Copies of this chain bind each other. A is one copy, B any other.
Amino acid sequence: MAQRAKRGWPAARCRRSSVLAALDIALRLLDWLGIAAFAASGALVASRKQMDAVGFILIATVTGFGGGTLRDLLLGRTPVFWLQTPELLAIAVGAALMVFFAAHLVESRFRVLLWVDAAGMALYAVLGAEIALLAGADPWAAVLLGVVTATGGGILRDVICGELPLILRREIYITAAAAGAVAYVALRLAPLPRDAALVSGLLLAFGIRAAAIIRGWSLPPYRARPAREYPDRR
């Protein structure tokens, strides 16, 4: 998602003080952290499937770039961002290889997967909404695209690997992403400065998701009757 730095506000850049430059570096780091977190979550699923190193890299990059790629395609921002930013690719590959060589050290890979996935989701929800706003989307569309960015990579990861998508599990997930994106967009329109809005949205999304993981928060499911199988005539 680093193209924000390339395309954003060229005029403002000239009168930017060193304080703002430091903030910009912090935001760039958040970008990188989001990619690393989602890439690591993809690599953890690959480790559950006992893939080889190339499979780790494939699933890690699909997870890390999938949501942002969907967002860019829907907005018509092509070529998509990761074709222009080799450093992001390096981060995803690095995260994949780190998991490949170190995943056996952790007690419960599924537990770690839940948490790094939560971090990536929170980061992408606000960063995705921001990029959509900068691309000229309406506020409600920016919220939607934030949710797409936050959930797209994880859905692709789980569908390709044949896992039950995390977002379809009982705990609150999309709701957390939507809350973070709504908070970011609302605060930007307030208008608050970008950094305050980003941090608020990020903390809200991560906080809700963390509570859902720890306390098992969930929304009431539809329970009237369990599904019957499709009459099997395959």
Contacts and interface: CB of A to CB of B under 8 A. Distances in A.
Interface of A: 46-56, 58, 69, 73-76, 78-80, 83-84, 86, 89, 100, 103-104, 109-110, 137-138, 140-141, 144-145, 151, 155, 159-165, 167-170, 172, 174-175, 178, 218-228, 230-234
A80 B141 CA distance: 11
B165 A50 contact: no
B222 A100 contact: yes
A222 B79 contact: no
Contacts of A163: 230
A51 B168 contact: yes
B174 A49 contact: no
A51 B83 contact: no
Contact of A162 (B104, B164, B170): B164
Contact of A230 (B78, B137, B169, B219): B169
19 contacts: A48-B226, A48-B228, A50-B222, A50-B226, A50-B227, A51-B168, A52-B219, A54-B172, A69-B74, A74-B80, A74-B83, A75-B79, A83-B138, A84-B141, A159-B159, A160-B168, A163-B230, A164-B234, A169-B230
3 nearest CB pairs, A to B: A76-B78, A104-B224, A48-B227
Most chain-B Cβ atoms within 10 A of its Cβ — which of A49, A168, A225, A232? A168
A186 to B, nearest CB: 17
Contacts of A224: 47, 103-104
A233 B166 CA distance: 11
Given A46-B222, A56-B222, A160-B165, 4 more contacts: A69-B74, A76-B76, A76-B78, A110-B230
